Amino acid sequence: MIIRRLGGLVVATLALAACAPSTAQPADTGDAKTGTLRVWLFDEAGRAPKEALVNEAVAEFRAAHKDVSVDVSYLATDAAARAAKFKGAFNDPASAPDVTEFGSTDLAGYVAAGGMADITKDIDGWSEKGDVPADMMKTVTVGDKAYGLPWWVGVRALYYRTDLFSSLGLAAPTSYAELVEAAKRIRAAQPELVGITVGGQYVFGALPFVWDAGGDLATRSGATYTATVNTAASKAGVKAYTDLFAPEICPAQQCVDLTGGKTVSTFAAGTAGMGIIGNFNRSAIDAGPVKGKYAVVPLPGAKPGTIAPAFAGGNNLGVMKATKHRTLAVQFAQLLASKKYQLKLYDALGNLPTMTSARAEVVAKDPFLKPFMDTIAAGTRFVPADPAWTTIDSQKIVINMLQKIITGKATVDQATEEANTLMNNAFAGK
């Protein structure tokens, strides 16, 4: 009796609430000139130097804005946890920071989620705008609006062990064929090493081979992307990369589940002859036993003397749409993204500046950067700037494709065809 009545009550309550979860209300954005500015930055393996330069910027900012305090939080490097943070900030504007650092591949998704503020006009009025190269501006632009300031950029090139190369009488490879040859010679001479460390989960290591072969993951026509990973050119690139997972180069058992980060630690530990590694990984390499025993050249393309196009990754600084301190947020982002702090960031972490003049300065200072600059000069590429990239990335479509080929579960034709369909589904929003 009682329970039945109660059951009725429950049903009634549910009926009353019969509507979808309320979506985030448009944040009542404001432009307060005082208060606390909340800033999210990415944590780093060695955070201290980054923290020091950020604290310096905060001090400079507060000297100009007496009634403002700046609260900086560092987000965990774990990608899933970081994604959860951003989703939380989009879904609950009250929890959103004012300024945030973000990876350039995530921008399209963040904009679709309505999380980022359009700061095109603010950039137009920025004194340092002229120093930002056009290709860098592209990485912060969705449609024709800019949503961030390019902060730093990273590219990968071929690290190789000079000690091994000279003892075997090898020269730095200038073509894919030479790279394969060198890798085989190294492993034949020292079977406990892999010739080149590559990873089945290392998408940014695989893409240069696809681009070099004239292929791409997807091409854009108008506002939409179409997957092109099943084209002959793309397949040739995929084959070139997955062919490296051969017993005489980098055995599938050992290499199929390596991530980009793992290939870095493999090379750093001295168990690989070569590796496709970023300029930003230099300190990690130098912390290990191979310090002083390696050199860097651009990753060679199939045609002798060419450079395989590299992925131009990097992080930007943006203003969240939900900010209640829009002007201050833009000013702080501009300060942190200024040439002065880009140079300090390079000194702290080795992250390449995005500004033309800043980049020229560090390159002049440090010859180590030359192969990376050559790579950039040869032209860099990017993943599809579409919200669907988040889906492609989190569903591991490209990784599964590579791993199926590497483990022999599928041929190049089968795996690329399957990935192509899945990517098109993602672009169609399915």
Site for another protein in 371-410 (CB under 8 A): 387, 390-391, 393-396, 399-400, 403-404, 407, 409
38 belongs to the binding site for another protein (CB under 8 A): yes
| 157 Cα distance to chain centroid | 15
Q: What is residue 66's three-state secondary structure?
A: coil
- Angstrom distance (rounded) from CA 159 to CA 384: 27
* Angle of helix 339-349 versus helix 47-64 axis, rounded to 10: 160
Using the contact rule CB under 8 A, the part of the chain among 38-46, 55-63, 238-246, 366-374 near another protein is: 38-46
Total chain residues near another protein (CB under 8 A): 79
Smaller CB separation from another protein, 181 or 257 = 257
Contact 321, 116 (CB under 8 A): yes
Q: Which of residues 260-319 bind another protein (CB under 8 A)?
A: 260-262, 264-265, 268-269, 271, 281, 284
Q: Are 245 and 200 in contact (CB under 8 A)?
A: yes
The nearest distance, CB 80 to another protein, in angstroms, is 7
Site for another protein in 89-118 (CB under 8 A): 89-92, 94-97, 109, 112-115
Decide the pairing of beta strands 313-319 and 145-146.
Answer: unpaired
Give the one residue of 81, 232, 295, 377 binding another protein; rule: CB under 8 A: 81
**Backbone dihedral angles phi then psi of residue 82, each to the nearest 5 degrees:** -65, -40
C-beta of residue 82 within 8 angstroms of C-beta of residue 393: no
Work out which of 52, 59, 76, 428 binds another protein, going by CB under 8 A.
76
From the CB of 91, what's the least distance to another protein, in Å?
Answer: 5
Judged by CB under 8 A, the residue of 34, 55, 69, 77 near another protein is 77
Binding segment toward another protein, per CB under 8 A, in 52-60, 61-69, 81-89, 372-380: 81-89
Instruction: Considering the complex, state which of residue 69 and residue 73 has its C-beta at the smaller distance from another protein.
Output: 73
Residue with tokens 């950029």: 153
Q: What are the start-end ranges of the E strands in 179-326?
A: 194-197, 218-221, 224-227, 272-278, 294-297, 310-311, 313-319
Partners of 429 in beta bridges: none
Residue 322: partners with Cβ closer than 8 Å, 6 or more residues away: 27, 29, 89, 93, 94, 96, 115
CB nearer to another protein: give 29 or 254. 254
232 C-beta neighbours (distance < 10 Å), count? 10
User: Distance between CA 60 and CA 332 in Å, rounded?
Assistant: 10
Locate the DSSP E strands across 65-139.
68-75, 99-103
Minimum distance from residue 214 beta carbon to another protein (Å): 26
Residues 307 and 301 sit within 8 Å (Cβ to Cβ) = yes
From 64, 80, 134, 364, residue interacting with another protein (rule: CB under 8 A): 80
Residue 46 CB, nearest distance to another protein (Å)?
10
Instruction: Please say which residue, 139 or 265, places its beta carbon nearer to another protein.
Output: 265
One of 34, 55, 69, 73 touching another protein (CB under 8 A): 73
CB of 230 to another protein, least distance (A): 17
- For the segment 133-152, give every residue that binds another protein (CB under 8 A): none
Stretch that binds another protein, among 13-21, 99-107, 173-181, 218-226 (CB under 8 A): 13-21
What is each CA distance from 124 to 137, 322, 334, 359, in whole angstroms? 12, 22, 12, 21
Q: How far is the CB of 7 from another protein (least distance, A)?
A: 7
- Contact characters 411-430, another protein, x per CB under 8 A: ------------------xx
* Helix or strand holding residue 141 (H, E): strand 141-142
Which residues, 179 to 208, sit near another protein by CB under 8 A?
A: 200-201
| Cα dist from 14 to 6, 10, 280, 416, whole Å | 12, 6, 54, 47
Select 96 or 170, whichever has its Cβ closest to another protein. Answer: 96
State the greatest distance between any 2 C-alpha atoms of the chain, in Å, as a whole number. 91
Contact with another protein (CB under 8 A): which of 35, 60, 65, 83?
A: 83
The CB-of-191 to another protein minimum distance in angstroms stands at 10
Q: Is the dihedral of CA 113, 315, 270, 372 positive or negative?
A: positive
Query: Of the two residues 63 and 80, which places its CB atom closer to another protein in the complex?
Result: 80
* 37-45, 148-156, 239-247, 343-351 -> range binding another protein (CB under 8 A): 37-45
